[in-house]
Structure 1
Amino acid sequence: MANGFRLVALNGLLIFLYVALGRVTFAASVEYGNVTSVIFAPEGVALAFSILFGPKIAPGIMLGQALLSYWSGPSLLGGLGIGLFNAFEGVLGGYLFRRWGLSRRFDRLRDVGLLTCMIFLILQPISATGGVLMLLLNGMIPTHVTNLFVDAWSTQGIQKPLPSLHLVLPAWLHWWIGNSLGQLLVAPLVLAWLTPAKHKAAPLTPLELAVFAAGVAAVLLTANSKLVAGPLLLLASSYALLVWVGLRCDVRAVTGANLLVTIVIVGVGMLGDGYMSYLPVADRLFYVSFFLASGLLFSLLLFAMLEERRDMILRLTELASRDALTQVSNRRHFMEQAEREVASARRHGTPISLALLDVDHFKSINDTHGHVVGDQALQMLARCCETVLRTGDLVGRVGGEEFALLFRCSNSREARQAVQRLLDLVTEQSILAPDGREVRITFSAGVAEAGPQASLDAMYAAADQTLYEAKNAGRSRVRISGAAPEREREFPGGDVGLGSGGCSVAETA
């Protein structure tokens, strides 16, 4: 029952949006012997609903078009016919969108290219052909027949039937471009705002808000100018604004900027202001359609290209900083991060400790059970390291079976106790070898604390020396640099008060 109510509500919402946006669209229309809408927004909403909810919203498209046609022409029955075509192409669009695996974030050039081809070459030829066919059939109905069914087959309204065949081609072209632009503008806008963003965009600074306002002002001024070069200036200012939005913001801002530019350009074309005041209706229609088609497509393609570039940079950064096997930091990335943390600790006078771990008898594990088991052992150790570390601590694979841990705001005693807990955790884990035997590992570790003027290199050398002392002492143990074995036994494993890993605000500056 809940699903049925949800379906009725979705179709009801679609009918309302279809009729309301259709009336707004027709209010911004120009007449050339038949109505020509510069951009038909309801088609974009219908496509977005089809992509989001599938074919079950087809009744909403059909009934929305029927009610719009009863209100605006050509007729209720004509609207039902047009609605059938629009419902079919809307459902087809949703199916193709899912079948081709397009992203609702439009963050790939492939997605934008396929969406554009789908709209201009598949969906809108269907819609335009069906719509013009119904207008032509309306025009062929004898007057005495229409008089009998005036309420159902009204010839009154904005959108008139086509009285002759020579109007079919221009009507088809204007229907095709108006609906195509409606889908290219509105569908990405709706999908972008109803889809969780991949990256959280940083808020705009006051300077960036000023730049955006200046870009909007430039579009408005050039649109209303009476300069001969008005079209080129408007194109340049619009593209500059869209480029800046694409570079700085996410897809929601891009589609929002598209809507803003569209409102400005449609308003100028509808009113015949600025440079368009010199142009006849047909030329104004051409300029508006050109601006919208090129601008909308350009902004989406630019955003997709920039997103692919961002993703590629992130992937390359990840590859350059992560160990491919264990997914912890590699040696270079760990050392770079550790260098910064040690410098910060020295600057603020806070303790910091480094631990080096080396898996015991790792070569024997590889030789006995194979390298796959050895790889699994390293992956298990890396997962255990991430389990015991606090926020702000670092872990990296710095050698074949060697790992490094950096403990912020921790002295050597606290670091040793954390590593001992890690050793206890690791010894409880087991790996199933291909022959069915359980394989367990241990490690030896050396811990060193930074002195007042100590560098990372000095800490690393001290921890490395202590690691070999732990191995020579029998392995599977943790030693502190400079501490006697008797002293170390005073620090058993177990829970210790390392806190949450956070330093004061000054320490993390």
Structure 2
Amino acid sequence: MTISSRALALNGLLLFLYVVLGRLTFAGSVEHGNVTSVIFVPEGVALAFAIRYGARVAPGILLGQTLLSYWSGPSVLGGLGIGFFNAFEAVLGGYLFHRWRLSLGFDRLRDVGLFACMTFFIMQPISATGGVLILLAHGMIPAHIADLLGGSWWIQGIQKPLLSLDLALPAWMHWWTGNCVGQLLVAPLVLAWLGPAKHKAPPLRWIELLGLAAGTAVVLLLARSDLPSSPVLLLALGYALLVWIALERGLRAVTVANALMTMMVVWLAVRGDGFMSHLPVPERLFYVSFFVGTAVLFSLTLFALFEERKDLIHQLTELPSKDALTQLGNRRHFMEQSERELARARRDCQPVSLALLDVDHFKAINDRHGHTVGDQVLQMFARCCRATLRASDLIGRVGGEEFAVLLPDTDAQNASEVLRRLLNIIAQQSIHTPDGSEVRITFSAGVVEIAPGASLDAMYSAADRALYQGKSAGRNRVEVFRPGRPETSPASGDAQPET
């Protein structure tokens, strides 16, 4: 699919979603004056598309708002004007999202806070101001001129124009609230499902499903009953559900829970049941907007807190066991893992081999080209080891340029063949230095098959002796340790030392 056809498909999908979701939003809204929507869902979808796909989705927003306005809004002309403002603020939001380097996973408090500020104080003031100005402009068109221009279909629509300035502020507030809540609720939901999940969530347990259903039923019963419940109680129960879900389930579950709770509360507001039965329409709008806005912000903030906590725990767990330069296990981690693997091999009577690898002439590389090139050499060496060895093999950086490999279920002969392949792969790699020269490396290795009953320390010393003999014999080779005499295995191919 070409770029142009992809952009056309994206705009067509966005146009469809904008119109359909807009109609559903208006159908399930509480009417109050000129603004019928307490939560304008298409704004959230438009923002998510602009964040994910960039400014190329602006035509879909413009045409979607225009068609929606012809169907159920102010007019075609008004829809074009409102669509222009909505497309502009959505594209601006997408630009700011990436400019501020916000995470699509909303997994940092900074990202949630900046996203909320961007929605409340930058984007929606633009959309609300533009929309109210369009309605005021409609109100200034004399009726006879509108009739003369055929205004019944492209100038005058279903939504009433604003006929005086004293109506502008309430309309602006409702417009701003509905669009803010729509973007805060829907954009994270769409982004969460468009991209991959950061963490694989554990399978949903039946007790969690039962608890979620029971909690939702309690909220509905309290909201519709004659018990002395209050919006604060409803809000508290909703918060408890969101907190519970956010602990383990990830962003997708949190945003879906937000959407389900929102549909429930909006449905109650439309019906005017329970604690909302005695409230006038403006207060119902306020309670619904307050509940949804605070619940969504609370859940996203809580989710970000738990994600940052998980990342911190992961870092604290990984840092003591990882070598910062190569991202391989460090000496302590390698020895601990090797002891466990050695115990398993003894229990199952399986062979296991240990190899020590040392980059040849590494000090000369550092002295001639600098430590930056030396670091690149070690990183390249680590990448080749990970790519060549099996996932079950243990690899660690145990010294400056020295690495250790434990090969489970492998005898010394097979281990030496694996290392010869690695010798040939390393010989084909090169590092380009800032002065234009090229660095190629080789390594020497000592291999020992761990004997039954032997300790890891003893085998480590034996592998080290074999490595030393390999380096003394000319480097770029694998030495297999055998009691009494090591076997020299020079590299096949044309591996050369660095130049």
TM-score by length of 2: 0.85
Letter in 1 for 2:60: G
The answer for the alignment partner of 2:356 in structure 1 is 356
Partner of 2:257: 257
Report the equivalent of 1:507.
none
* Residue number in structure 2 paired with 1:449: 450
Partner of 1:179: 179
| Partner-residue secondary structure (3-state), 1:31 | coil
**In 1: Cα distance, 2:298 partner to 2:19 partner:** 29
1:126 aligned partner = 126
State how far apart, in whole Å, the 2-side matches of 1:432 and 1:93 are.
41
The SS at the match of 1:353 is: strand
The answer for unaligned runs of 5 or more in structure 2 is 494-499
In structure 1, the partner of 2:266 is 266
Q: Output aligned runs, 1:36-55, within 5 Å.
A: 36-55=36-55
Alpha-carbon distance in 2 for matches of 1:207, 1:353:
47
Distance 1:154 1:335, change over 3 A: same
The Cα shift of 1:471 comes to 6.2
Measured after TM superposition, the shift of residue 83 of structure 1 is 2.4
Residues 213-260 of structure 1: CA distance to partner in whole angstroms, max 9, x if unpaired? 444444444444444343233222222222233221232222212111
Match of 2:404 in 1: 404
Matches of 1:57 and 1:113, distance apart in 2: 25
Q: Residues 372-412 of structure 1, C-alpha deviation per residue, up to 9 Å, x if partnerless? A: 56555544543443344222001111123332110111123
Matched ranges for 1:165-204 at <5 A? 165-204=165-204
Task: Tell me the distance in 2 between the aligned counterparts of 1:197 and 1:397.
Answer: 32
Whole-angstrom distance in 1 between the partners of 2:459 and 2:226: 72
What is the distance in 2 between the residues matched to 1:41 and 1:281?
A: 20
1:32-181 superposed matches below 5 A: 32-148=32-148, 149-152=150-153, 157=158, 159-181=159-181
Q: Over residues 247-286 of structure 1, what are the superposed CA-to-partner deviations in whole Å (9 max), with x where a residue is unaligned?
A: 2123222221211111111111111123222322222211
- The structure-2 alpha-carbon separation of the partners of 1:272 and 1:421, relative to structure 1 and needing over 3 Å to count, comes to same
CA RMSD of aligned residues (A): 3.4
Identity %: 62
Change beyond 3 A, Cα 1:345–1:213: farther
8 A contact 1:50–1:91 mirrored in 2? yes
State the match for 1:498 in structure 2.
Answer: none
Q: Tell me: CA distance 1:191–1:358, structure 2 relative to 1, closer, same or farther (3 Å).
A: closer
- C-alpha distance in structure 1 between counterparts of 2:454 and 2:482, whole Å: 15
CA change 1:443–1:124 in 2 (3 A) is same
Deviates more, 1:159-168 or 1:426-435: 426-435
* Number of equivalenced pairs: 491
Residue 178 of structure 1: how far off its partner (Å): 0.6
Give the CA deviation at 1:359. 4.9
Provide, for residues 90-141 of structure 1, a one-character-per-residue CA deviation record: whole Å limited to 9, x for no partner.
Answer: 2322332333333333233222222211211122112212222232333343
The code of the aligned residue for 1:352 comes to V
Aligned mates of 1:388, 1:164 — CA distance in 2: 75
- Deviations 1:302-347, CA, capped at 9 Å, x for gaps: 2233333333443444432222233321112212221221222223
Checking the alignment, whether the CA contact within 8 Å between 2:360 and 2:441 is kept in structure 1 is no
Q: C-alpha offsets along residues 128-171 of structure 1, whole Å, 9 cap, x if unaligned? A: 122222323333433334444342356563x2223333322211
TM-score after normalising by structure 1 = 0.84
In structure 2, distance between residues paired with 1:218 and 1:353: 62
Q: Which residue of 2 aligns with 1:386?
A: 386
Q: What secondary structure sits across from 1:485 in the alignment?
A: coil
Report the equivalent of 1:297: 297
Paired amino acid for 2:120? F
Cα distance change on mapping 1:458 and 1:243 into 2, 3 Å: farther
1:223-242 equivalences in 2 (<5 Å): 223-242=223-242
Number of the residue aligned with 2:334? 334
Indicate conservation of the 8 Å contact 1:446/1:470, yes or no.
Answer: no
C-alpha separation in 2, matches of 1:439 and 1:154: 74
How far 1:85 moved relative to its partner?
A: 2.4
More moved, 148-157 vs 122-131:
148-157
Gaps of 5+ in 1: 496-509
Partner residue in 1 for 2:497: none
- Between the aligned partners of 2:189 and 2:429, the Cα distance in structure 1 is 50
In 2, Cα distance between equivalents of 1:31 and 1:355: 75
1:367: Cα distance to partner? 6.0
Task: State the match for 1:247 in structure 2.
Answer: 247
Retained in 1: the 8 A contact 2:430–2:438?
no
Find the aligned partners of 1:435 and 1:15 in 2 and give their Cα distance.
53
- Does the C-alpha gap of structure 1 residues 344 and 238 become closer, same or farther in structure 2, counting only changes over 3 Å? farther
- C-alpha displacement of 1:176: 0.9
What is the alpha-carbon distance in structure 2 between the residues aligned to residue 180 and residue 296 of structure 1? 11
Q: 3-state DSSP class of the match of 2:294?
A: helix
Write the letter of the residue equivalent to 1:447.
V
* Secondary structure, counterpart of 1:163 in structure 2: coil
Q: Residue by residue, what CA displacement relative to the aligned partner does 1:352-376 show, whole Å, maximum 9, x if unpaired?
A: 2222334566556656776556555
The 1:454/1:65 distance shift into structure 2, 3 A limit, reads same
Q: Distance in 2 between matches of 1:195 and 1:18?
A: 20
Larger mean Cα displacement after TM superposition, 72-81 or 283-292: 72-81
The more displaced of 1-10 and 286-295 is: 1-10
TM-aligned CA distance change 1:53 to 1:410, over 3 Å: closer
**What is the distance in 2 between the residues matched to 1:92 and 1:310?**
32
Aligned match of 1:285: 285
CA distance change for structure 1 residues 468 and 67 in 2, over 3 Å: closer, same or farther?
closer
- Answer whether contact 1:29 1:35 (CA < 8 A) is retained: no
Residues 1:438 and 1:50: Cα distance change in structure 2 (over 3 Å): closer
- Tell me which amino acid in the other structure corresponds to 2:172: W
